Structure 1
Amino acid sequence: MSDITEIQISKLTKVRDCFIRSPYLDGILKTIHRNRMVSKCGGKPECALIIGEPGSGKTTLMEKYEKDHPHEEESCRTRIPVFLSEFPLRTEPRQAAISLLDDLGHELPPKGLSAPQLTKQLAKLMHECEVEIALLDEFHHLIETKSYDVLHDAVTWVKTLINISKKPVVLFGLPYSRVILDYDEQLSGRFPIIRQIEPFRVKKDCDEKVFRTFLMMLSSELPFDKVIKLHGRDFYPRLFAFSKGSMRRLRNLINFACEQAIFNNDSGLTLEHFSVAYNFYMQHIDERKDEIDVSEPLSSQPNPFSGSINDHYYKELVSHSKWNMNAQPGESRIIPATFTDKIPLRTLLKRR
C-alpha cells in the first residue's frame, strides 16, 4: 500500500470514529449517566449490570461515555470523573484489584498485599481522583469457572469495593454474568438495574426497521461524494447475513469496505468493495475472538457480497448465552447463544 494522503486520513478517521446511537445503546448511555448523577445525591450508590453477547457494542459504549466526560489534568493530580477499566482474562479478586489500581495510575508495588488491602487502596485512590462512576468491562472474566467457590469470592469482592468506595459501579459482561446476582441476594439488591444490549434482528418488521434506520444514519456520515444507501435493497440484507446482528462484525466490515474505497479514491461504496472487505476480514480476523454462533464458525460462512441474493441466507439470535446451574463436574457451565436455522435472504426483499 502506498503512503496515505492527508485527505484519505481525514476521511478514514471520520469513518472509524463515527458513533451512531442505536435505540439500545442510547438507552444504556442514559442509564449510565443517570446512575452517575443520582449517586451524588445521598443514599447508596446506584449500580447496574450491562450484559450483551460478544460484539454487541459494550466496550464501544463505555469508551464513548468516557470520551464525552474526559479526565482533567490538575496541578497535583488527574481528576477522573469516569473511570474505565477491564478485568483481565481468568482473573480473581486480588488480580482484579491490582489491574484497577494500575489503570488509576497507582505506583506502589502490590507485593505482599491481600485482596482486602488492595481494595482499600483502590477505594482511597478513587476518592483522591474524584471518580464519580466506575465502568468495569469483561466482568465475566471474574466468574469464568466451574467452581462456586470462585463465585463466592467474586461476590464478596464486588460488595467490598462498593461498600468502601461508595461509588456507583457499572459492570459490563456477557449475558451469563448475571449469575453472580442470582447467587447472592445482597449483591443483587445493589444492582437493581440490569440492561441487555440486544443484537440487530430483521425477522420481524419492527426489528428490520431499527437495523435499516441505523444503516441509514451511518450512511449519512460516510465521507463520499456519491450518496450511499447501506439501508437499501442491495446492501442491508447482505450486511445482516454477514454480521448476524453483531455490531462489531458490522462496523469492522463497513470500515474495511470504506478503507478500500478511500484508498482507491472512489466516489462511493459498491458490493465489490464489500466483497474485498469480506476477503480481508476472513484472512485477518482471529476466529476465536469473533465467535458468535458456535453452530456455524466464521470460516464456513460464504461471501454474501458475491453472486445472487437468492443464493444466500441469514441467521439471527434466538437465545442469549446462559449459566448452566445443573452442569456436571468437568462440564462447562456456559450454555452458548443459539441462532435460527438458515433463512433465505430473499425473504427480506419480498416484504418490501
Structure 2
Amino acid sequence: MDIMAAAIQFSQCYIEHPYVKRIMTELDKLRAQRLLSKDQQCILITGEAGTGKSALIDHYKVKDVATNKSTKMTPVLLTCISAKRDLDSTLIQMLHDLELFGASQYKRRGFATNLEQKLVNALKRAQVELMIINEFQEILEYKSMQERQAIGNSLKYISEEAQVPIAFVGMPWAAQICEDPQWASRLIRRRKLTHFCFKDIDKRRYYLSYLKGLASRMPFASPPDLASPPIAIPLFAATNGENRFIKELLKEALMIALQQQDDTIKLVHLSVAYALIVPDQPNVFEFPLDLLQLKEIESPSRINFDMNTVEQLIIGPKYTKPIAISDILSLK
C-alpha cells in the first residue's frame, strides 16, 4: 500500500457530522432565497483555530464544484482577506478569485475605477449565489469603529446590488461586524464551531461518533475502535478536543501502523505519534486511564483592547481546570 497516498486520502476526508450538515443546509437555503429580497440574509460562522471552519467551507465548495462541473459559472465564490488587510486590496482579491482577467490593473496608481461596482458586475456575470469570506476577522483588526463601519457599508452595498448573500467565516472576534446595527439584522444566523467536549454526556457521544467516522475512513479491513475508552480518552487528553490536532495525530498514527504493516491502529501507534509531534510533553498515551485529567475550553479567544504591542493583540481561549477522568465518568 502507498503509505503517503493513504495518509493524504485520510487527511482530505471530511466527516459531515450533524452540526456541520445543518450549517451547509443553511448555506443552501441562503442561496435558494437570495432573489426573494434585496436585503440579503447572511451568516456568521466563527470558531477557534482548529475547529474545522476552513475544512467546512472547503468541503462545501468542493461539493458545489462537483455538482456544477459542467458549467463555467461560479455559484459559490470562496475568497479571503487580502494580505494587506484593507478594503480595496480585498475587493481586488475577490475579483482575482473570480478569475477576472485584468484584475491586477486595479492596483495601478491613478487607475480610476469603482471597485465595488466592478465586483458587483463580476458577481452578476459569474452568477454567484453565495460569497464566502474566510478569515474575515483579519480585515477588522487594528480598525477603528468608523473604519469597520465603512467596510460593513461597502460589503452591504455589494451584497444588495449583486443579490448575493455573504458567509463571514473567522475567529470569534469576527463578530465585531455585528456591532453595526445594519449587519446585526442581516446576521441573524450566527453559528459557532467548537472543540469537542467530554464532560457533558451528549457532547461526549458527539465526539465518539466523530471518531467512528474517522475510523471508517481508514484503509483497514476492519476499522480501528477509536471510540473505545482506551483510545478515545487519552486522545482527548492529548488534544483537548481540538479537531485539527485529533486528525493530525491520527494521520501520524496511521502512517506508523502502515509502515509496521499492522492491520489496525493501536494505542502504541498513537503513543509513538504523540511523542513525535510533541516530544517535550508527558505522553498521555502511556498513563493509566484513571490518572488522566481532561481540559475543555471554558471561554473563547478574544481581542485585547488594552494591548501595548502587536503580540498582545489576541488573548487565547481559557480552559477549565484539569478534571480527573474518574470524576467526569461519575457525573450524571
Percent identity between the two aligned chains:
24
Per-residue deviation at 1:311?
Answer: 4.1
CA contact (8 A) 1:47 1:193 kept: yes
CA distance in 1, matches of 2:110, 2:49: 34
The within-5 A match list for 1:175-186 is 175-182=172-179, 184-186=180-182
Per-residue deviation at 1:52?
Answer: 0.8
Match of 2:282 in 1: 302
1:24 to 19, 26, 32: 19
Amino acid at match of 2:92: I
Per-residue deviation at 1:20?
Answer: 1.2
Per-residue deviation at 1:86?
Answer: 1.5
CA distance in 2, matches of 1:157, 1:114: 19
The within-5 A match list for 1:226-245 is 226-245=222-241
Q: What per-residue deviation string (whole Å, max 9, x for no partner) do you get for residues 204-234 of structure 1?
A: 1111111112112222232213441111011
CA distance in 1, matches of 2:38, 2:153: 21
CA distance in 1, matches of 2:37, 2:302: 35
2:54 to 54, 59, 63: 59
Match of 1:164 in 2: 161
CA contact (8 A) 1:320 1:338 kept: yes
Match of 1:148 in 2: 145
Judging changes above 3 Å, is the alpha-carbon distance between structure 1 residues 113 and 155 closer, same or farther for their aligned structure 2 residues?
A: farther
Question: What root-mean-square deviation, in Å, do the aligned CA atoms of Structure 1 and Structure 2 show?
Answer: 2.6
Amino acid at match of 2:57: M
CA contact (8 A) 1:318 1:337 kept: yes
Per-residue deviation at 1:139?
Answer: 0.3
Match of 2:316 in 1: 336
TM-score, normalisation: structure 2: 0.88
Match of 2:299 in 1: 319
Greater mean alpha carbon deviation, residues 308-317 or residues 330-339: 330-339
**Equivalent residue pairs, number:** 326
Match of 1:98 in 2: 92
Match of 1:293 in 2: none
Structure 1, gaps ≥5 residues long: 284-298
CA distance in 2, matches of 1:115, 1:341: 57
1:49 to 41, 44, 66: 44
CA distance in 1, matches of 2:118, 2:272: 51
Match of 2:123 in 1: 126
CA contact (8 A) 1:146 1:330 kept: no
Q: What per-residue deviation string (whole Å, max 9, x for no partner) do you get for residues 286-323 of structure 1?
A: xxxxxxxxxxxxx6x43222232344322101112235
Amino acid at match of 1:106: L
The within-5 A match list for 1:166-205 is 166-182=163-179, 184-205=180-201
Match of 1:81 in 2: 75
CA contact (8 A) 2:307 2:313 kept: no
CA distance in 2, matches of 1:242, 1:153: 43
Match of 1:33 in 2: 28
Structure 2, gaps ≥5 residues long: none
Match of 1:259 in 2: 255
CA distance in 2, matches of 1:134, 1:156: 16
Kindly indicate whether residue 304 of structure 2 is the aligned counterpart of residue 271 of structure 1: no
CA distance in 2, matches of 1:161, 1:116: 15
Amino acid at match of 1:93: L
Q: What per-residue deviation string (whole Å, max 9, x for no partner) do you get for residues 24-82 of structure 1?
A: 212211111111111144443221111111111111110111111107567xx831111
CA contact (8 A) 1:36 1:46 kept: no
CA contact (8 A) 2:35 2:163 kept: no
CA distance in 1, matches of 2:208, 2:245: 16
1:107 to 101, 109, 113: 101
CA distance in 2, matches of 1:45, 1:151: 19
CA contact (8 A) 2:38 2:160 kept: no
CA distance in 2, matches of 1:351, 1:149: 49
CA distance in 1, matches of 2:159, 2:290: 54
